[in-house]
Every structure is written in C-alpha cells, then in structure tokens.
Amino acid sequence: MPVEELSDETLVRAISLGVVWALEMLYERYQRLLYSVTYRMVKDHQVAEDLLQEAFLAVWQNASSYSSRMGSVQNWLISIMRHRAIDHLRRLRTHAELRGMPLEDAVTSEEMVTADAWDAVWRSVQGAQLRRALALLSSEQRLVIELAYFEGWTHSEIARAYGLPLGTVKARMRLGLMRLRSILERLGTVES
C-alpha cells in the first residue's frame, strides 16, 4: 500500500511510536483545515500559524492518547486546535483586563498574580488523575463516558451508534460515573 493511502488512525499510531514522517503526512493532510478553523477564531495569521505548530507538537507528544472510539482523527485534531485557540483568547482577555487595572491593584491582587499559573497546574494534575481513573474503568463504562463528556454525544446517539438499548447506555454511564468519582476521591481530586 502506498504511504499516501495510509489511514489517519495508522498515522496516529505511527506518531505514537515516534515515526516523524507520519507526523509530516498528517500535517500535510490537515494543515489547511486546522489553520482555517483557528484563523476564524483568532483573526490573526501569525497567531493561527503559531497555534497550528503548537497543536502538532501536542499531537506528537500525545498521540498515544487518541482512541478511535472517541471519534475520527480529524475531529480529534479540530478539538485540539479549538482548545489552543480558546486558551489563546482567554490569555488575551486576561492581559486586557490587567492593562486596564492600576499597577498597585495588579501587584497587590494575589488572585490576579497567581490564578492563571495555579489553575494551569491544577488542571494538569486533575487531567492526569482523570486519565488514570478512566483507565481503571471497564471499557464499556469508559467508552460511554468519553463519548458523552469529551465528544458531546447524547445517550441516544451512543445507543444508536453502538446498537445498545438506551437503558444499557444510561446504566453504564451511571455506574461508570459512580466508580470514577470513587477513584477520584481516593486520588484526592474531588472531595468525598
């Protein structure tokens, strides 16, 4: 099979193993689409280019986190780009708020000085713990939770897509969330 005909999923698997040409090929396939998605959000060519590079660096570093059960590679890439653009826009808003604040208020406001850094660190810790906790669930429970919470699917959409009774999807969701909460409580991520 010619290299150009490799599926997106095959390329992501190769990227997770450190195959550079697979990243280059995925970049060639999706750079225009991802750039246009980002540019529509940030309205700045250079920022869109920078965010595109950051997104593909994230793909290189986190390719092993991709699962085809959660959706297509294209949707995964768009999600990564959207999150990068949203984070950029939030940073701009925070900087704009600080510019309008007198220096004395900014320096004495502990919330303004440390909130972004602490939030980023805490989100990172929570994300790692959530990934660890999800890995401990049964594959059936993990699938419905990932589809609902990370991909935005409804219970009905999951039931239709996987040929399951709606009650089964709801039961797996409820049991999975209860188990997930229990695991996260033990890890100290959420309070009892």
Q: Specify the pLDDT at position 184.
A: 82
Residue 53: pLDDT band with limits 50, 70, 90? very high
Q: Write out pLDDT tens, residues 119-132.
A: 555 566 667 777 78
Provide the pLDDT for residue 7: 93
The DSSP output letter for 66 is: -
Instruction: Tell me which H or E stretch contains 14.
Output: helix 8-16
Torsion sign across C-alpha atoms 104, 109, 110, 112: negative
**Average pLDDT across the chain, whole number:** 81
Give pLDDT, residue 192: 54
Percent of the chain exceeding pLDDT 70 equals 77
Structural domains of the chain sorted by starting position, each given as residue range(s) with its CATH number in brackets: 1-100 (1.10.1740.10), 121-192 (1.10.10.10)
Burial group, residue 187, by CB count within 10 angstroms (0-12, 13-18, 19+): middle
What is the DSSP code (8-state) at residue 60?
H
The pLDDT assigned to 161 comes to: 84
CA angle at 104 for the pair 103 and 108, rounded to the nearest 5°: 115
Q: Residue 87: which residues within 8 A CB-CB, separation 6 or more?
A: none
